[in-house]
């Protein structure tokens, strides 16, 4: 009976559960692509080296004009993205965006935009009627501030890429002949590989499976490895993902809890990692990487919450703790020797 | 031997005196430029202290009333600073400049000192305690509170550590429980001058009691602590009995107001976690804005390094329960700070939906950072106590001082504005004070006009508050005022403005060209549309009914409106309509024969009651105080529609008296809890905002004579009173009695101890 039970539990542990996690990964990845608005029939520029814009990092004051230029990578140019930053203040300016082909006298398109919709360190899409024969042509665009003031204005962010472009293709064009289809598929695959969001999404979706595998198959008795993995995956989340999303970080949070439970780790040990993340936030801030600093700060807070929860739940059984801060420091220093 | 003793006691005296002196000197240094500037501090968002001494004296008497300028003062717990300001103005002639500077210097230094005392109480050494005080007095919320003008908030912030210290003492000691309970209650009551602190303090206290209960091995001791704190709340509530009773008497309206205002433009505007760790508020960006752009990253980075160090204070061995309390407080406060934004938005959304009353106190999210600031300050002591080394001490001191950079500029990096009102304002105030008219005064430009010329920001009006007369011009208190505030910018529709002003009972208009409306910033319309020139054009168009009474200076003029309705009058020809206010006002601008209007869709009453109304000019009235009017209708007969141009509220009641009472002033209510007021179905909403009563004088006189055969007069003596004032006044008496009793107890206790 016991043997059957062990076999059953092994089956669940080593087969059924991993399969469920793989299926979850597949579902999560495809679902996120669909709900994330990542359409199929478009391409993003992958080479932004030829694009440039002035006034980067400077506050756009009333009347200031930022002039930009780029070479269209494909035909069917439909959107120009520009990255802005509100410097942590509330921007209430209105900017005029206009675009024309280099050397042309008249602007192809011009429109006004309220800057309160510009998210800090995010690319903002300036859409316009699709230009069909755009490939290889140079385009100029301008962004003019209408009411910008020192505190309420907007800044063109220095985080790269500052400019990006989007090309829209119709189904008819793609399916018209095999050449079009092949060409589009090759470029689309390259687009996906170059799109860090999709890579991050893939990693995130299969993260529960990866972490579970590590947890089950490797380093069962070495808490340092597990703490390292937990911290590393948290850092990975900060680097890879653009925004902090609860669903993305849930597997990592779960891993932290599992590790704490498995090795009876003191809450203060987790706090050490929280403080380390605060220090990382400080460095990221210094490097003007506010978006990453924000994510690091959130992760620091998440670890602080975990630490507090663990601290409370285990406050009366401190003597049973296996891993304390003192032990961590001693283990780390002995390893170094 | 004698020398030894005297030097020992001298050292003791120095040890006691030195810390507050240090904090005071730092505060003076941080505010040195402001102190050298003549005039009053023009604070950007909320004008807490009025300009002239007489205004502050008037504000000092505001605690006697439950209704003022069209609103119930149900949130007005802040009357204590008002009384103190009034006292200083009356006794020493302090003006707004003296008071605002004194307030800022004293509260900032008090913040540092009270945190120092708390830290010392928690058995941390001198240096950690001093650093803790320094950190607390220079957190961004202090900077933002000074610049935005939350002076009452600042006072509460400064007293908070002192309250926490007293609460800890009360909880930890069984000696002198009554004395400590009273002191805690007094401090708590003072702190409640800014009502949001009820939630702030309660959150901390609740967390502390929870942690104590969970962690303690002596449950009975924990319950004892809960009981002690319960009594602190009871006495604090008794010390605020007037507001508690007023709240209860108006519970429906209060709940509605709190719910409606729980979330506003300033809530959760874009709270970033990395800013929360810096203890910066979300709504006001004055602190970070004061740092030159190239240094922002370095500054934030240094602050983070300090916060990371402070975080290590959690490893401190002292005060484990308090450290746990601080951890949980930081978790909760940072969580709330993120608001409805990701990643914890769903949690806060839930709290907002289910506990609106709780979250309402944090509608300006910077309030929650008070708890984070408090926690980090104590943890700083713990950190320095736990890691005693020269390098750590020097490093931390450098980081704390660097974090004070925005304060060191001396004028909050031009964040605080100072101003001097021209003498015309003094003459205007004198004229308004001496004017016996009971009509309302419309301060233009309206709706938080208070912006200094060419300033992007604003503070509340420096003259309107503490004005002796009923004023309009700050936040609109009803739909008619709101309509007028916008309509006055439309000279083409001046007739509609005239109608609105007449029905609002506006007798005087003050036009100030040294101010510009701030309204556009909030509603997002073009600034160009809202200019003072447009207001002048409107006023000029109304020259037939509006006369320029006096020009005090180029920027300051007083107009008189000859066609304004009196505060109390009888209407015989009301305009009845099912339409919206906008359409009614348009109609009335073309028809002059109506003396009131009734929006039928907002009023459920029997229209037939309005038939056969009689016009009667033989009416006189006196405004006894903001909650009581006495009206006399000579030779009354027939049916009247009596209108009182106070904002409609069910609390306003009309009483019939058998004798005339000619007293023109009294403080106490006239009709204590009387139930024989005119029935509620005869109390209607008129003119879109005012109280109206349908009075059948023949019936009333007949009843009077039946009840009192000696009543021979044909006159009708009426009192219109805001009934909740009875509850308020009873509460005021309770508060005074409890305060007096407590003070006597403290005094006797002190004498007893001295004798022992």
Distance from CA of B332 to the nearest CA of A (A): 9
Give per-residue pLDDT as tens, B352-406.
778 877 877 776 767 888 999 999 999 999 999 999 889 999 999 999 998 888 8
Q: Is B324 on the interface with A (CB under 8 A)?
A: yes
DSSP secondary structure string for all residues of A154-205? EEE--SSPSEEEEEE--HHHHHS-HHHHHHHHHHHHHHHHH-HHHHHHHHHH
Distance, in Å, from the CA atom of A172 to the CA atom of A174, rounded to the nearest integer, reads 6
As a whole number of angstroms, the distance between CA B616 and CA A287 comes to: 78
Instruction: Name chain B contacts of A308, Cβ cutoff 8 Å.
Output: 327-328, 331
Chain A positions in Cβ-Cβ contact with residue B298 (cut-off 8 Å): 286
User: Phi/psi at A68 (nearest 5 deg)?
Assistant: -130, 160
Query: Which chain B residues are within 8 Å of A300, Cβ to Cβ?
Result: 277
Give the model confidence (pLDDT) of A79-89 as tens digits: 898 988 876 66
- How high is the mean pLDDT of chain B? 85
- Predicted confidence (pLDDT) per residue in B559-584, tens digit: 999 999 999 999 888 998 888 899 99
pLDDT of B5 higher than 90:
no
Q: What pLDDT does B509 receive?
A: 94
CB contact under 8 A, B301 and A282: yes
Q: How far is CA B424 from CA B41, B84, B558, in A?
A: 19, 27, 11
Rounded to 10 deg, the angle between the B369-386 and B140-148 helix axes is 140
CA torsion angle for B241, B242, B243, B246 (degrees, to 10)? 120
| Mean pLDDT across chain A | 81
Q: Residue B453: is its pLDDT beyond 60?
A: no
Contacts of A315 in chain B (CB under 8 A): 214-215, 324
> What residue in A sits closest to B346 (Cα-Cα)?
A246
- List, for residues A294-333, the tens digit of each pLDDT value: 889 889 999 999 998 888 777 555 556 577 777 777 777 7
Tokens of B545: 């009914």
Of A90, A268, A279, the CB nearest to B305: A279
CB B360 within 8 A of CB B267: no
Q: Around A117, how many Cα atoms within 13 Å sit in the side-chain half-sphere?
A: 9
Angle (deg, nearest 10), helices B96-121 and B151-172: 30
A275–B301 C-beta distance less than 8 A:
no
Distance from CA of A149 to the nearest CA of B (A): 10
**A vs B: CB pairs below 8 A:** 109
- How far are the Cα atoms of B430, B447, B494, B514 from residue B419, in angstroms, in the given order? 20, 20, 33, 11
CB of B614 closer than 8 Å to CB of B638: yes
| CB-count exposure of residue B434 (10 Å: 0-12, 13-18, 19+) | exposed
Residue with tokens 């929870």: B210
Locate the DSSP E strands across B578-618. Answer: 596-599
In whole angstroms, what is the distance from residue B606 CA to residue B669 CA?
31
Q: Are the beta carbons of B327 and A297 separated by less than 8 Å?
A: no
**Cα(B533)–Cα(B513) distance, rounded to whole angstroms?**
9
Collect all residues of chain B within an 8 Å Cβ-Cβ radius of residue A281: 274, 277, 304
Interface mutation vs chain B, best among A122, A253, A268, A275, most B CBs within 10 Å? A275
ipTM above 0.90, yes or no: no
DSSP label of A12: I
Instruction: Identify the sign of the CA torsion B336, B340, B341, B346.
Output: positive
> Measured between alpha carbons, how far is residue A280 from residues A229, B240, B314, B424, B435 in Å?
17, 48, 19, 58, 66
pLDDT for B25: 95
Are B308 and A249 a contacting pair at CB < 8 A? no
Average pLDDT over residues A207-224: 73
Nearest-by-Cβ selection for A244 from B308, B314, B343: B343
What is residue B146's predicted lDDT score, i.e. its pLDDT?
83
> Which positions in chain A touch B286 (Cβ < 8 Å)?
none
Residue B501: the pLDDT is 96
A246 contacts in B (CB within 8 Å)?
Answer: 342-344, 346
DSSP string, B99-125: HHHHHHHHHHHHHHHHHHHHHHHTT--
pLDDT for position B239:
94
Q: How far is CA B493 from the centre of its chain?
A: 35
Lowest model confidence (mean pLDDT) among A247-251, B113-117, B242-246: A247-251
Phi, psi of B340 (to 5 degrees): -85, 10
CA of A117: which chain B residue's CA is closest? B270
Tell me the range of A311-320, B59-68, B92-101, B221-230 where mean pLDDT is highest: B221-230
User: Could you give the CA distance from residue B689 to residue B478 in angstroms, rounded to a whole number?
Assistant: 6
| Mean pLDDT of the region B444-454 | 57
* Residue B285, pLDDT score: 64
CB-based contact B277 A90, cutoff 8 Å: no
Interval B483-529: pLDDT, tens: 998 899 899 999 999 999 999 999 999 998 877 765 544 444 455 56
| Minimum Cα–Cα distance from A296: chain B residue | B274
- The answer to whether the Cβ–Cβ distance between A297 and B269 falls below 8 Å is no
Interface touch A297/B274, C-beta < 8 Å = yes
- CA distance linking residue B58 with residue B86, whole number of Å: 7
Nearest to B298 among A244, A286, A308 (CB): A286
Distances (CA, A) of A23 to A18, A30, A204, A205, B251: 9, 11, 13, 10, 55
Of A59, A290, A308, the CB nearest to B328: A308
Whole-angstrom distance, CA of residue B330 vs CA of residue B622: 55
């Amino acid at each position: 009976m016991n043997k059957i039970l062990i076999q059953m539990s092994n089956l669940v542990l080593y087969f059924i559960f991993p399969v469920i996690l793989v299926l979850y990964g597949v579902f999560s990845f495809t679902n996120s692509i669909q709900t994330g608005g990542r359409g199929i029939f478009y391409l993003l520029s992958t080479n932004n080296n030829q694009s440039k814009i002035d006034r980067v990092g400077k506050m756009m004051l009333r009347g200031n004009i930022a002039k930009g230029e780029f070479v269209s990578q494909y035909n069917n140019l439909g959107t120009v993205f520009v990255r802005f930053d509100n410097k942590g203040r509330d921007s209430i300016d209105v900017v005029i965006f206009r675009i024309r082909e280099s050397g042309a006298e008249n602007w192809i398109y011009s429109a006004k935009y309220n800057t309160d919709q510009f998210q800090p360190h995010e690319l903002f899409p300036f859409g316009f009627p699709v230009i069909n024969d755009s490939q290889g042509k140079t385009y100029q665009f301008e962004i003019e501030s209408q009411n910008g003031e020192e505190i309420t204005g907007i800044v063109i962010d220095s985080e790269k890429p500052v400019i990006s472009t989007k090309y829209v293709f119709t189904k008819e064009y793609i399916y018209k002949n095999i050449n079009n289809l092949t060409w589009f598929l090759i470029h689309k695959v390259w687009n996906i590989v170059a799109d860090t969001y999709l890579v991050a999404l893939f990693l995130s979706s299969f993260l529960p499976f990866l972490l579970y595998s590590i947890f089950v198959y490797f380093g069962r008795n070495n808490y340092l490895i597990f703490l390292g993995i937990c911290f590393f995956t948290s850092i990975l989340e900060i680097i890879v993902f653009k925004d902090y999303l609860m669903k993305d970080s849930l597997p990592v949070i779960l891993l932290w809890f599992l590790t704490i439970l498995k090795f009876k780790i003191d809450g203060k040990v987790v706090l050490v990692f929280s403080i380390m993340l605060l220090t990382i936030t400080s460095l990221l801030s210094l490097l003007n990487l506010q978006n990453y600093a924000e994510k690091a700060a959130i992760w620091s807070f998440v670890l602080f919450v975990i630490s507090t929860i663990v601290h409370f739940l285990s406050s009366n059984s401190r003597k049973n703790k296996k891993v304390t801060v003192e032990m961590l420091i001693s283990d780390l220093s002995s390893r170094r020797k | 031997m004698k020398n030894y003793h005297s030097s020992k006691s001298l050292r003791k005296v120095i040890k006691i005196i030195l810390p507050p002196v240090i904090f005071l000197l730092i505060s003076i240094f941080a505010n040195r430029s402001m102190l050298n500037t003549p005039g009053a501090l023009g604070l950007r968002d909320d004008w807490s202290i009025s300009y002239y001494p007489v205004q502050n004296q008037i504000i000092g008497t505001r605690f006697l009333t439950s209704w003022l300028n069209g609103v119930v003062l149900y949130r007005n717990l802040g009357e204590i600073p008002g009384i103190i300001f009034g006292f200083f103005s009356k006794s020493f002639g302090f003006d707004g400049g003296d008071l605002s500077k004194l307030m800022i210097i004293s509260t900032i230094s008090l913040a540092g000192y009270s945190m120092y005392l708390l830290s010392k109480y928690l058995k941390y050494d001198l240096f950690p305690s001093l650093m803790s005080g320094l950190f607390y007095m220079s957190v961004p919320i202090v900077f933002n509170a000074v610049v935005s003008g939350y002076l009452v908030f600042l006072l509460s912030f400064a007293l908070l550590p002192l309250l926490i210290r007293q609460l800890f003492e009360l909880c930890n000691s069984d000696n002198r429980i009554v004395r400590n309970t009273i002191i805690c209650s007094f401090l708590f009551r003072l702190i409640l001058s800014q009502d949001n602190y009820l939630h702030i303090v309660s959150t901390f206290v609740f967390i502390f009691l929870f942690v104590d209960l969970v962690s303690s091995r002596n449950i009975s001791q924990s319950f004892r602590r809960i009981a002690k704190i319960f009594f602190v709340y009871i006495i604090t509530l008794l010390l605020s009995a007037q507001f508690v009773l007023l709240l209860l008497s108006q519970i429906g309206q209060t709940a509605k107001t709190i719910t409606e205002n729980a979330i506003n433009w300033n809530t959760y505007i874009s709270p970033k976690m990395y800013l929360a760790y810096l203890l910066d508020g979300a709504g006001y960006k004055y602190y970070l804005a004061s740092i030159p752009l190239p240094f922002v990253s370095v500054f934030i980075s240094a602050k983070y390094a300090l916060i990371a160090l402070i975080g290590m204070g959690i490893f401190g061995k002292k005060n484990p329960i308090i450290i746990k309390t601080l951890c949980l407080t930081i978790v909760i406060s940072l969580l709330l700070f993120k608001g409805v934004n990701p990643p914890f938005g769903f949690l806060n959304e839930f709290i907002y939906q289910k506990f609106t009353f709780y979250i309402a106190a944090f509608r300006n999210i910077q309030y929650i950072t008070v708890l984070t600031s408090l926690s980090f300050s104590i943890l700083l002591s713990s950190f320095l106590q736990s890691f005693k080394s020269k390098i750590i001490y020097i490093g931390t001191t450098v980081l704390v001082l660097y974090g004070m950079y925005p304060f060191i500029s001396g004028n909050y990096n031009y964040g605080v504005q100072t101003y001097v009102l021209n003498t015309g304002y003094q003459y205007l105030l004198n004229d308004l004070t001496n004017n016996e008219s009971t009509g309302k005064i419309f301060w233009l430009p309206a709706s938080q006009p208070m912006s200094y010329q060419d300033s992007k920001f604003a503070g509340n009006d420096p003259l309107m508050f503490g004005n002796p007369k009923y004023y309009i011009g700050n936040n609109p208190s009803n739909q008619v005022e709101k309509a007028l505030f916008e309509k006055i910018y439309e000279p083409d529709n001046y007739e509609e403005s005239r109608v609105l002003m007449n029905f609002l009972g506006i007798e005087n208009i003050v036009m100030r060209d040294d101010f510009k409306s701030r309204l556009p910033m909030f509603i997002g319309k073009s600034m160009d549309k809202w200019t003072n020139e447009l207001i002048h054009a409107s006023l000029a168009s109304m020259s037939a009914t509006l006369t320029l009474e006096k020009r005090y200076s180029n920027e300051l003029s007083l107009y008189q409106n000859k066609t304004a309705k009196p505060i109390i009058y009888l209407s015989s020809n009301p305009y009845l309509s099912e339409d919206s206010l906008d359409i009614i006002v348009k109609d009335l601008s073309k028809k002059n024969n109506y003396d009131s209007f009734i929006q039928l869709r907002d009023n459920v009453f029997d229209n037939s009651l309005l038939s056969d109304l009689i016009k009667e000019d033989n009416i006189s009235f006196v405004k006894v105080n903001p909650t009581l009017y006495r009206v006399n209708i000579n030779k009354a007969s027939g049916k009247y529609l009596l209108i009182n141009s106070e904002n409609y509220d069910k609390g306003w009641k009309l009483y019939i008296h058998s004798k005339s009472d000619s007293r023109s002033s009294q403080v106490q209510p006239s009709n204590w809890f009387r139930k024989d007021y005119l029935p509620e179905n005869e109390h209607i909403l008129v003119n879109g905002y005012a109280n109206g009563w349908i009075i059948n004088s023949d019936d009333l006189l007949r009843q009077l004579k039946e009840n009192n055969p000696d009543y021979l007069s044909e006159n009708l003596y009426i009192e219109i009173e805001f009934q909740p004032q009875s509850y308020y006044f009873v509460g005021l008496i309770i508060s005074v009695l409890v305060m007096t009793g407590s003070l006597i107890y403290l005094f006797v206790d002190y004498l007893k101890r001295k004798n022992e």
